[in-house]
Structure 1
Amino acid sequence: MFNKNLIPIKIFCNKIKKTLFTNLINTIVSIFIILIISLVCLNTFKWLIFNANWKVVTSNLPLYAFGSFPSNQQWRPATWIISLLSLSIVTLFGPDWKFVRKNLLLAWISTIPLGLYLLYGGLGLTPVMSRHWGGLTLTILLTACSSLLSLPFGIVLALCRQSSLPLIQKISSIYIDVMRAIPLIAVLFFGQLLIPLFLPIGIEIDRVWRAIFAFTLFVSAYIAEDVRGGLQAIPNTQIEAATSLGLNQYQVTKFVLIPQALRIALPALTNQSIGLFQNTSLMAILGLVELLGIGRSILANPEFIGQYIEVYIWLACVYWLFCTIMAVLARHLEQRMRINKENF
């Protein structure tokens, strides 16, 4: 008896046959490439399982996660990271209740003051200086704080660049163009080395906040261009309709322009967030021991000298995992916004 479930398999096999094995030359080339890929995958799998020495990773997991945070207080950054992962799970797979959807954004924003409280201490917790922060905790903190500050700053810059006032438009345009023309490492050097020179005597900003300030200045210029692209994609009929309903310029911007521009620019904003997470690795050059800096400090240990491949494969997997989580969350948000738009 003919099995209908085999039809998709046969269609797939026919497509492969037509694509890879149309003639003798294509067949030989396809078999050769498949053989090379198979050998590479087999040797890589063999090395990962039998030859690699993963002690450099397993014996330093707390260091990768928390840096030199005091060992008796490491439950604090661990609690913060677990809360972020739990909130990600709730966002993706949680119940679609009105209460949950209404307070989800507030919950995400509240994770940043929660993280700062747990890391800095005070109010019942032992204070910990920022020089003891490091590893994955510091990477996430730099990304979260910089993203939170650069988004509203970028929106303001985009609106200023669209302004009808020539002076405001010119100043914002110059700022955006200058920031996009300067390498990020130069901005980070400015934040770490030159900002203290411009501060009055007696006022000090620790290195973590200098890094956040530098990232914010840099990323906001790119966010401004992404948001400006979203603003330009909104048809003028939307503005005319809002004006005819009696909305003033502020209301049109708040309720019509910004929500639609952010929805249009969401894929580009996601790229900026992922790029920011990856670019925090540049802080290893400037002395902040974030995730990559921890890896370099471990490799300087005589016990683990020469185990570069294991360390960098592990770091690549960690970066891949968290960048994938960010991409999945953004895709989920994009789908929710599309559904809300269709329902509206």
Structure 2
Amino acid sequence: MNQHQFLPDLPPPSNTVGPLGWAKKNLFNGPLNTILTLILGYFAFIGLASVIDWAILSADWSGQTRGDCTREGACWVFIQVRWDQFMYGFYPEAELWRPRLFYITLAIFTVLLAYEKTPKRMWIWLFFVNIYPFFVAGLLYGGVFGLEVVDTHKWGGLLVTLIIALVGIIVSLPIGVVLALGRRSEMPIIRSMCTVYIEIWRGVPLITVLFMASVMLPLFLAHGSETDKLIRALIGVVLFSSAYMAEVVRGGLQAIPKGQYEAADALGLSYWKKMGLIVLPQALKITIPSIVNTFIGLFKDTSLVLIIGMFDVLGIGQAANSDPEWLGFATESYVFVALVFWLFCFGMSRYSIWLEGRLNTGHQR
């Protein structure tokens, strides 16, 4: 037998790896930390148990009237009765199939575009950006193909929230890229114009922009012409968010090493080829967290349209709270609205993290 033959390594002790090892290392690594962990764990357990009891175990889930809420927990009957308003606002009941079709098609496009192995993904994206918005506008507003016209003042709830967020996200990104390139331009006039635009819009609160878009914008239009309130809100949101997006993209452009620019120039590439093929792909890749963070902020800021008389999902919740028949259930309303916002924002955040790992954005070694 070979005397130099080594026995195989033994596995590490079970209490040093996995969740048990992590807890022992971080939570119970000393008398003081153990005491603090037990105290905080106790209060966390009490609080979580109270929330679960109120929201699930002692809650009322079915019914049609206030009298059906007989238990001590949450009255989700209130949300059930107001469900259509939370989802569609005051859209006519006979035409609810139109916003429902919008939700279904939007979910399908989201899945197809998020899945990287989708065939013809680029063509689907071009259709989604260039043609789908007009399809949605015709579907929801009507006036084409025999569809009844539904004015935008009847829209509301999640429908308005998604429309404003989608238009703001899709349109502000390319405008922000152009503004960022303009601010770094070697032409003084272009650079000055982009800088002035960015600084003006970044220095004004969004609530002021919405007031200006709703009240002042019609003053600059021809006499007798009238612009829809939703269109004015969309214009204000796009102009505002594009300024912030421009600074995010500019940070990515400045982070690209100078050698990348020089290498593109050495290849004889034109300015637009250099930016489109070499610089911008790298700049947008390293700014994914900041871009998605801006998108999340924009999605939450859609609730500000309430001040100009548009009822997004939060506005519908506040309007429902003032119903005399359902007074006292504001907590359920705000919890539901918070859950809706959290689901969409958390989804964008997780997709951002996945995309970062997919593109190796962090340049980990």
Deviation at 1:338, TM superposition (A): 4.5
Shift of 1:304: 1.4
TM-score w.r.t. the length of structure 1 is 0.90
Report SS of the residue matched to 1:35.
helix
- 8 Å Cα contact 1:180-1:218 kept in structure 2: yes
Give the C-alpha shift of residue 259 in structure 1. 2.4
User: What is the match of residue 41 of structure 2?
Assistant: 34
Please list the CA deviations of residues 206-226 of structure 1 after superposition, one character each: whole Å capped at 9, or x if unmatched: 110111111111111110001
The equivalent residue for 2:144 is 123
Compare CA radii of gyration and give the structure with the larger one.
Answer: 2
In 1, the alpha carbon distance for the partners of 2:210 and 2:266 equals: 47
Deviation at 1:36, TM superposition (A): 0.3
* Pairing partner for 2:89 from 57, 64, 67: 67
Given that 1:179 and 1:218 are in contact with CA atoms closer than 8 Å, whether structure 2 keeps it comes out as yes
Q: Distance in 2 between matches of 1:238 and 1:24?
A: 54
1:228 to 2:250 alignment: yes
Unaligned runs of 5+ in 1: none
Cα distance in 1 for partners of 2:13, 2:316 equals 52
Is 1:119–1:128's contact at 8 Å kept on the other side of the alignment?
Answer: yes
Q: Return the offset for 1:195.
A: 0.9
1:105 aligns with 2:120: no
- In the alignment, is the contact (CA less than 8 A) between 1:56 and 1:304 conserved in 2? yes
Comparing 157-166 with 234-243, which one deviates more in the overlay?
Answer: 234-243
Which of 77, 102, 106 aligns to 1:55? It is 77
Query: Separation in 1 of the partners of 2:15 and 2:277?
Result: 47
Stretch moving more, 247-256 or 55-64: 247-256
The answer to whether 1:182 aligns with 2:204 is yes
- Residue 285 of structure 1 aligns to a residue in which SS? helix
Deviation at 1:258, TM superposition (A): 2.4
Distance 1:121 1:334, change over 3 A: farther
Instruction: Return the offset for 1:261.
Output: 2.0
| Residue identity matched to 1:155 | V
Distance in 2 (CA, whole Å) between partners of 1:290 and 1:278 is 11
* 1:237 CA drift (Å): 2.0
Gaps of 5+ in 2: 1-9, 59-72
**Cα 1:8–1:104 shift into 2, 3 Å:** farther
Select which of 216, 220, 223 maps to 1:194: 216
How much has 1:253 moved relative to structure 2? 2.3
TM-score, L = length of structure 2: 0.85
262, 267, 281: which one pairs with 1:245? 267
Aligned-residue Cα RMSD (Å) equals 2.4
Q: Which amino acid aligns with 1:190?
A: M
Cα distance change on mapping 1:265 and 1:22 into 2, 3 Å? closer
Once the two structures are superposed, residues 246-297 of structure 1 have per-residue CA deviations (whole angstroms, 9 ceiling, x without a partner) of 2212222232222222222222111111111100001112210111111111
The residue type paired with residue 324 of structure 1 is F
Q: Which has the higher contact order (CA 8 A, sep 6+)?
A: 1
**Number of residue-to-residue matches in the alignment:** 337
The equivalent residue for 1:204 is 226
Range with greater deviation from structure 2 (30-39 or 319-328): 319-328
> AA paired with 1:209?
I
Output one character per residue of 1:61-102: Cα deviation in whole Å (capped at 9) or x when no partner.
11111111111111111111111122223334x5725x3333
